[in-house]
Amino acid sequence: MNGLLRCVLVGLGARGRYWAQVMHAEPRCAIVAYVDPSAEALARADADFGERPGFASLDEALEAGLDVDGLVLATPPSGREAQLRHACERALPVLVEKPLALDLHEAARFVRMAEAAGVPLMVGLNFRYLAVTIERMRLYRDGVVGRPAFTRFTYERWRDGYRPGINRYPLTMEHPMLWEQSIHHFDLLRYVYGVEPLTVACHAWNPSWSMYAHETNVAALFSFDGGLVANYQGTWQSGWATPGFEWRTDATEGVVTQFDQFGDLRYARRDEPALRTVDLPPHEIWVTETAGLLRAFLASALDGEPLECSGRDHLSSLAMVEACIRSSRDARVVDVGDVLAEALQAAG
C-alpha cells in the first residue's frame, strides 16, 4: 500500500460529501472511485472534489480493475450486507457510517462476518474525535473534578426532515431518533466514562406535531457498571427551532458541563461560584472531527495500530438502542447486557 490507502467512497449524499472533502484533504488517503446510484450525485462529486471513475454500484466499481485497498460506506444503514460481503471477500478494511445496521442481530452478524474474514470494520463515530470530547476525558483523567457519578444529557433539535440536502429515509423509518441520533450520544456515554450499561428504563414517543412517522422523542434512564447513572433526553421535533444542548456531569468533587455538541466545555470544583471555560482549538464542524476519524482508520489499515470504533464495540451502543426500544414497548426496565448477549448468541 506504500503508505497510501486507495479507497472507494460509496454513497455521496449529505454525509458522503463530507467524506469526499475530508478524504481528498488527507495525504495518506486516495479516492479511486465514487459509487452512487444517482448520476447527479456522481456528477456533483466530480465537479466539487475532483473527477474520479463513477459507478452506480459497488459491484461495478470492484469489477472495474482498479487498485482498491479499502472502502468508506456512507450509504443509508439498511441494505449494507452485500457491501460488507464484498469487503470481506476481498479483505478490504471498511469504515462504515453509524449505525452499522438498523437491527442489533443483523449488526452482530456483520461483526462476526468481518471478524471471521479478518477484515477491520470501523464505525463512523466522529463525535469521539472532537476536541471537546478529548478535553472532557482529560478533565476526568486528571482528577480535576473527581470521579463522575451522575449525568444529564439533553439534546433538543427541530430537525426539518424535508430540508433540501438532508436525508429523507428517517421520515419513514422506525425509531429514527434512537438509531440515527441517540446512537452517537449512547456511544459517547460509554466512551467518555469508560463504563458499560447495565439497565435502562425508557419511554419513546412522537409529539403531536411530528413530521416523522415514528418516535422522535426519547427519555431514558441508564445505570452503568461502577454506579454511574445517566438521565438522557433527546428530540428531533423540539417545540423551538433554536437547538438546545447540555451534557452535565456531576462528579465527586465538582461538575463538568457542555453547552454545545461541538464545544463550549466548562467545569467548576464544588465550592467555586462560577464555571471556568475550557480552551478548545478551532474546529470546522463535521470536518475536523471526521478527519480525526479518518486518520484513526488509516493508522489501523496502514500502520497496524489497534482499530478504534470497532464494529464489536459498536454493538454495545446498539444494544442500548435496542434495550430502549424494548423498554418503551413493554413499559419495563431492560437489562442491556442480556439484549447484547442474545444478539451475539444468535449471530453464532
Ligand X SMILES: NC(=O)c1ccc[n+]([C@@H]2O[C@H](COP(=O)([O-])OP(=O)(O)OC[C@H]3O[C@@H](n4cnc5c(N)ncnc54)[C@H](O)[C@@H]3O)[C@@H](O)[C@H]2O)c1
Which stretches of the chain bind ligand X, using CB under 6 A?
10-16, 35-38, 41, 57-58, 74-77, 79, 97-98, 124, 126, 167, 180
- Which residue number, 75 or 327, has a Cβ lying nearer to ligand X? 75
In angstroms, what is the minimal distance from the CB of 158 to ligand X? 17
Q: Which residues contact 143 (CB under 8 A, 6 or more apart)?
A: none
Q: Which is nearer to ligand X, 75 or 206 (CB)?
A: 75
Closest contact distance (angstroms) between CB of 191 and ligand X is 14
Q: How far is CA 270 from CA 23, 138, 149, 251, 255, in A?
A: 44, 18, 14, 9, 7
Q: Which is nearer to ligand X, 141 or 163 (CB)?
A: 163
Task: Identify whether 99 is preceded by a cis peptide bond (ω within 30 of 0).
Answer: yes
> What three-state secondary structure class fits 180?
helix
**Taking CB positions, which residue lies at the least distance from ligand X?**
13
The three grid cell numbers given for residue 261, joined into one nine-digit string = 455538541
Cα(166)–Cα(82) distance, rounded to whole angstroms?
25
CA distance 224 to 219: 16
Nearer to ligand X, 211 or 268 (CB): 211
DSSP class of residue 144 equals S
**CA distance linking residue 9 with residue 54, whole number of Å:** 10
CB atoms within 10 A of CB 279: 8
- Residue 150: CB minimum distance to ligand X, A: 27
* Residue 60 C-beta: closest distance to ligand X, Å: 10
In the bound state with ligand X, the residue whose beta carbon lies nearer, of 8 and 145, is 8
CB of 56 to ligand X, least distance (A): 8
